[in-house]
Structure 1
Amino acid sequence: MNRIVFILSIVLLIAFYILWVQSGHSFGGIIIIIGIMALVYFRRRYLNMKPYWAGSLRDIPKYFKLP
């Protein structure tokens, strides 16, 4: 997943969350958490980064850079 798809996916996820809450449904936070975890997983996989337990949090800015 490249940078543009990653950022657009986050924007769409937030828009979906806003629509979900406005429509009166509950458990929107769970959708956000699972969605962000999936997006971060695929972004890390695309960048060939180490898994969470072997990496550090200093590599988070790499999510928004080109590989």
Structure 2
Amino acid sequence: MDIFDKVELQDCPICGGAGLLEEENGNSFYVACMDCGSRSVNIDYKEEAKREDAAQRAADLWNTGKVISSHPGE
């Protein structure tokens, strides 16, 4: 099963939009809102064995509301 299918994401804690798990440069994961652009921080990994853990950690941050809003002034 693909890592993107294993991770469950809740709706955006800012606007209620859909979250999307993204992998960046093959060494980190983050979750971004498809509607407002809010996102979690990047969770880096160095070893392939840590890849799934990094994806889950990014999802956990998102699901607990730990996001960066892209709205000016926030």
Decide: shared fold, TM above 0.5: no
Q: Which has the higher helix share?
A: 1
Q: Which has the higher strand share?
A: 2
- Between structure 1 and structure 2, the one with the greater Rg is 1
* TM-score (norm. length: structure 1): 0.31
Structure with greater contact order relative to length (CA < 8 Å, sep ≥ 6): 1
